[in-house]
Structure 1
Amino acid sequence: MKNVAGILVILILSFISCKKEVKTETVTTKDSDSIKTEEPIAEVEAPVDSATQVKAWQAYATPGEPHKLMMEEVGTWTCDMTFWYEPNGKPEKATSIATVKMLFGGRYQETDYKGTIMGAPFEGKGTLAYNNATKEFTNTFIDNMGTGMMVAYGKYDESTKTIELKGETVDPVKGKKTPYREVYTIVDPTTRKFEMYDMKNGAEYKSMEIISKKK
């Protein structure tokens, strides 16, 4: 922690030393007269004392209660997966194993998935972060069934024990971005429910549900 604090102090002091820059530009008219103009490159921010900045950066870097929620999920989970490729379509079933661990001193959660979907081997990786500054979660996901990354943002509702996240993905058929929504529910200490909602013809429909049980 002392090393982290030292790095933060160095960063903050470098920010404090920044000053307003002025750009000098020469404009040549058709009469060959030169006129010098001065334009500010950036606005001057109100000064913040170094102690306040150090305290803010330390708070930003320190894991809190939301990170403890993520820490509770470390371990191995069996995942019962259900997919709907069309609204009210026939559900497809699959299973996978999820291995959850924390990274960088409990600041981020990483989950590795392995299983089979429609008879084909499936591998995926998800990351979950809680940003102390914005007070929201960020979820990312990549797998071996595409070449894009899904990124969604959302907040935790203590009353329902759910995280609702919203993001955009790309429809490979149309080549256009489309919104999606995720709902992650803490059912009990050893059960989690994940629901994903996609858009079809301008309407939202449930496209996936994963019930995970901790081993």
Structure 2
Amino acid sequence: MKKLAVTATAVLFVINSFTASAQAQDQQKAWADYMTPGEVHKMMAKWDGKWKEDVTFWMQPGAAPTKSTATCVNKMVMGGRYQQSTHTGNMMGQPFEGQGTLAWDNARKILISTWIDNMGTGIMYMEGTWDEASKSATMKGKTTDPMTGKEMDVKQTFTVVNDNTQKMEMYMTHEGQEFKTMEITFTRTK
């Protein structure tokens, strides 16, 4: 009986060892898949470089638009895992600077965007999907409404028109109504 108990314990130990080893291998593979830049990252890397921005901005629904120009420099960082965008220009007669980060989350299969600029003190966060057929992304998130101090919904559409032209449209929700606040046409500079 004692010998049977020792044998059963040894068999359970071997089974648990194989199970633990298989789980460790699965975990290592999951981390490797999560951290390895893939096809979407390669696509984002094609957007690296300097871009001219033609900006149209609306302060409120029905208001006359304001136009300005700016520049954007995109570069992949952290081994090609994220794209960092640095923007400089003028907005509403003031110097403007902004910085964005774009990520493709391999595990969740979504785009994630963060944005900060010198026209505020908060961080805008958005998530969305990439549509390969239309070469566009629709991202939704939250930002702070400086008038109320509360979060408000934002939506951004981003379209790759061609290798040298991109378009971004930004929408915010004001009093329950979504309206277009910004449109930027990006043209690659050489």
Distance across 1 between alignment mates of 2:134 and 2:85: 23
2:168 pairs with one of 194, 197, 205: 194
How far did residue 173 of structure 1 move? 1.1
What is the correspondence of 1:41-60 to structure 2 with a 5 Å cutoff? 49-60=23-34
Displacement of 1:172 in angstroms is: 1.1
What is the SS of the residue equivalent to 1:49?
helix
Q: Equivalent of 1:111, from 77, 85, 88? A: 85
CA distance in 2, matches of 1:140, 1:69: 19
Give the drift of 1:52. Answer: 1.1
Measure how far apart 1:88 and its partner are. 2.1
Superposed CA deviations along residues 183-205 of structure 1, whole A, max 9, x for unmatched, are: 00010000000000011221101
In 2, Cα distance between equivalents of 1:52 and 1:175: 45
Partner of 1:212: 186
Runs (4+) of structure 1 exceeding 2 A deviation are none
Gaps of 5+ in 2: 1-18
Write the distance in 1 (CA, Å) between the matches of 2:59 and 2:119. 15
Matching residue within 48, 52, 68 for 1:94:
68
Q: For the residues of structure 1 that align with 2:40 and 2:117, how far apart are their CA atoms?
A: 26
Find the aligned partners of 1:71 and 1:133 in 2 and give their Cα distance: 19
TM alignment of 1:138-149, pairs within 5 A: 138-149=112-123
Alignment partner, residue 131 of structure 2 = 157
Equivalent runs, 1:65-80 vs 2, <5 Å: 65-80=39-54
1:158 is displaced (CA, Å) by 1.0
CA distances 1:41-75 after superposition (whole Å, capped 9, x unpaired): xxxxx976111111111000100011011100110
- State TM-score, norm by structure 2: 0.87
Query: d(CA) in 1 for partners of 2:46 and 2:183?
Result: 21
Q: Provide the rounded CA distance (Å) in 2 between the counterparts of 1:49 and 1:202.
A: 48
* TM-score (normalised: structure 1): 0.77
What amino acid does structure 2 have at the position aligned with 1:66?
V
The sequence identity of aligned pairs, in percent, is 45
Aligned counterpart, 1:185 = 159
